[in-house]
Amino acid sequence: MQSIQAVLPATISVVLGSKDTKAFRTEDYYFYYKQLKARFLTQQAAFDPTQRPTPTGLEDHGRWSTIAKQILEDKDDLSRVANIRKTQIKRLSQNGITTLRALAESTAAYLPKMNQSTFETLRAQAKIQVESIGLPKPKYEQISQSENSRRGLALLPPPSPHDIWFDMEGYPHIQGGLEYLFGATYLDPQGQMQFIDWWAHDRAQERKTFEDFIDWVYARYKQAGAMHIYHYAAYEVSAMRKLMGRFGTREMEVDNLLRNEVFVDLYRVVQQGLRVGEPRYSLKNIEHLYMPKRDGDVAKATDSIVYYERWLEQQDGYVGSVVLCGRCLGEMFESGGVSGR
């Protein structure tokens, strides 16, 4: 604009995802921009397309995730070992173990400066992943626990006909995020699996959805105090606390549910109780044990965000293939993937 008009614009504006427009004083950023531009042009001038960068496996590569994943698979990178940490990768590499297969085939009795049980756990995980390559379903084994241990499968309470399997979908690209979809699978009086959902597209609807869900859950809880709400990973409980604080409502009900351990995190159960031949223990990976490959468009958790954003832009009834994992959790129990004691 300056080269065309011979005048530097006083302000520059940015249109946010929420459609709000934010104006900024140009001179506050202009010289920093020029420095960035010069560095960018220098980098481009020296760019060598034959020098491919090496991604690290424990980072989010955004739109480059697919190619980064392929590079790491080609390298048989240690980051592909499920639940491994950066410090553990560094320690293994320092001792000459630089690939997943090398870890799986290691005959070392111990590793210097690494806890013995940690090394054995990582080696066992790498071994079962290698053994699962090419199989229609990954291998798995139960991790033995000490007597009276409160870990793994021992965290599962006795089953109840009033149990609920619950999942949520959130949209992060507005201020404070929006919990736009609650879904729950449950058994009706005839023992048939049913699915119920609640939708919200603004703050007022989000509040009502939260209240309606908690009211429905709490009514079942008062009717049969032995019931539990199964979910996968910590998102659902964190969201309940957030919504309770945001709207200042249903505090007593949520507090009672949390205090009485009605919510059961199946991620902890699986991670502590099973060793699975998968590079991650996400629900999408664990599904490979008990159900066929997904044939819809939503193959990973972030896909639902894309489809919801598309619906926001084209509110013509199109909702894509958003599938709540609450239904998947129900199928997980029904198929015997995980069961109460």
Neighbour-count burial of 201, counting CB atoms closer than 10 A to its CB (0-12 exposed, 13-18 middle, 19+ buried): middle
- pLDDT given at position 107: 95
Tens of pLDDT, residues 86-128: 999 999 999 999 999 999 999 999 899 899 999 999 999 999 9
Number of domains in the chain: 3
- DSSP, res 109: S
Q: Comparing 212 with 59, which gets the higher pLDDT?
A: 212
Is residue 111 located within the same domain as residue 229?
Answer: no
* Residue 324 and residue 186 share a domain: yes
Q: The tokens 């908690």 sit on which residue?
A: 214
Q: Which of 90, 106, 133 is the last residue of a domain?
A: 133
pLDDT at 341: 35
Do both 120 and 188 map to the same domain? no
**Bridge partner list, 288:** none
Q: Are residues 69 and 32 in the same domain?
A: no
Among 138, 74, 89, 131, CA closest to 337: 138
**Residue 230 CB partners (closer than 8 Å, separation 6+):** 163, 164, 165, 166, 264, 266, 329, 333
> Mean pLDDT of all residues in the chain?
88
Contact of 126 with 103, CB cutoff 8 Å: yes
308 inside domain:
yes
Return the axis-axis angle of helices 235-247 and 203-223, rounded to nearest 10°: 110
The answer to whether position 57 is within a domain reads: no
The enclosing H or E element of 275 equals strand 274-276
225: domain CATH number is 3.30.420.10
218 and 332 both lie in a single domain: yes
| Residue 167 shares a structural domain with residue 311 | yes
Q: Is residue 56 part of a domain?
A: no
pTM here? Answer: 0.76
Answer whether residue 138 is part of any domain.
no
The answer to the question of residue 60 being in a domain is no
Q: What tokens does 144 get?
A: 């033995």
Expressed as residue numbers, the domain containing 338 is 149-341
Residues 124 and 155 in one domain: no
Name which residue leads in pLDDT, 179 or 226.
179
177 and 272 part of one domain: yes
Least confident of 190-204, 244-258, 281-295: 281-295
Q: 87 and 129 share a domain?
A: yes
Cβ-contact 164, 186 below 8 angstroms: yes
pLDDT value at 40 more than 80: yes
Alpha carbon 45 to its chain centroid, in Å, reads 39
Contact 13, 23 (CB under 8 A): yes
Say what the pLDDT of residue 264 is.
97
Q: State how far the Cα of 337 lies from the Cα of 232, in Å rounded to an integer.
A: 13
Residue with the two structure tokens 């297969």: 101
pLDDT tens for each residue of 44-95: 999 998 887 777 777 778 788 888 888 899 999 999 999 999 999 999 999 9
Q: Which of 11-15, 310-314, 325-329 has the lowest mean pLDDT?
A: 325-329
Q: Are 275 and 132 in contact (CB under 8 A)?
A: no
- Whether residue 177 sits in one domain with residue 106: no
Q: Are residues 23 and 71 in the same domain?
A: no
Q: Is the pLDDT of residue 151 over 50?
A: yes
- Examine residue 340 and state whether it is found in any structural domain, yes or no: yes
Q: Which of 75, 109, 133 is the last residue of a domain?
A: 133
Q: Quick one: tokens of 253?
A: 């009900």
**How many angstroms separate the CA atoms of 163 and 185, rounded?**
9
Same domain, 125 and 18: no
Contacts (Cβ under 8 Å, ≥6 apart) of 278: 82, 129, 132, 138, 285, 286, 288
Query: Does 270 map to a domain?
Result: yes
